[in-house]
Amino acid sequence: SQTIHQWPATLVQPVGSPLSLECTVEGTSNPNLYWYRQAAGRGLQLLFYSVGIGQISSEVPQNLSASRPQDRQFILSSKKLLLSDSGFYLCAWSPGGRETQYFGPGTRLLVL
């Protein structure tokens, strides 16, 4: 069966510091991968998605970037965090060509 991992689970970072969140998927190959952000009391906002290694599409211009160095690894980064980057970051995967997405446990980021 397929599983999706995210780490860290919780992160507290000062403003201006760098960020690296990691997501890995097991039990499948060639997945589509997604990064979402969920602000308190709000829906999920799609940040990036990837259909293959090195292929990244950005949905919202912002302070963040994404990379996919391996087939089942997706990384969310920032060079300098802003207060507004605080939130719950979720990674998701879907089988290529399928609509259903499956989410990881999330990373709660607090920027102070």
Partner 1 sequence: QKEVEQDPGPLSVPEGAIVSLNCTYSNSAFQYFMWYRQYSRKGPELLMYTYSSGNKEDGRFTAQVDKSSKYISLFIRDSQPSDSATYLCAPLGGKLIFGQGTELSVKP
The residues of the shown chain that bind partner 1, judged by CB under 8 A, are 6, 41-44, 46, 49, 59, 90, 92, 99-106, 108
Torsion of CA 36, 41, 42, 48, to 10 degrees: -10
Report the residue number, 48 or 68, with the smaller CB distance to partner 1: 48
Q: The tokens of 33 are what?
A: 């991968």
Report the residue number, 1 or 100, with the smaller CB distance to partner 1: 100
Shortest separation between residue 110's beta carbon and partner 1, angstroms: 13
Shortest separation between residue 20's beta carbon and partner 1, angstroms: 19
- The number of residues making up the chain comes to 112
Report the residue number, 44 or 53, with the smaller CB distance to partner 1: 44
Counts of helices then strands in the chain (DSSP H, E): 0, 11
Taking the CB of residue 111, how many other CB atoms lie within 10 A of it? 19
Report the residue number, 16 or 66, with the smaller CB distance to partner 1: 66
Report how far residue 7's alpha carbon sits from residue 107's, in angstroms, rounded to the nearest whole number: 6
Strands 3-7 and 19-26, how do they pair? antiparallel
Shortest separation between residue 33's beta carbon and partner 1, angstroms: 13
Shortest separation between residue 104's beta carbon and partner 1, angstroms: 5
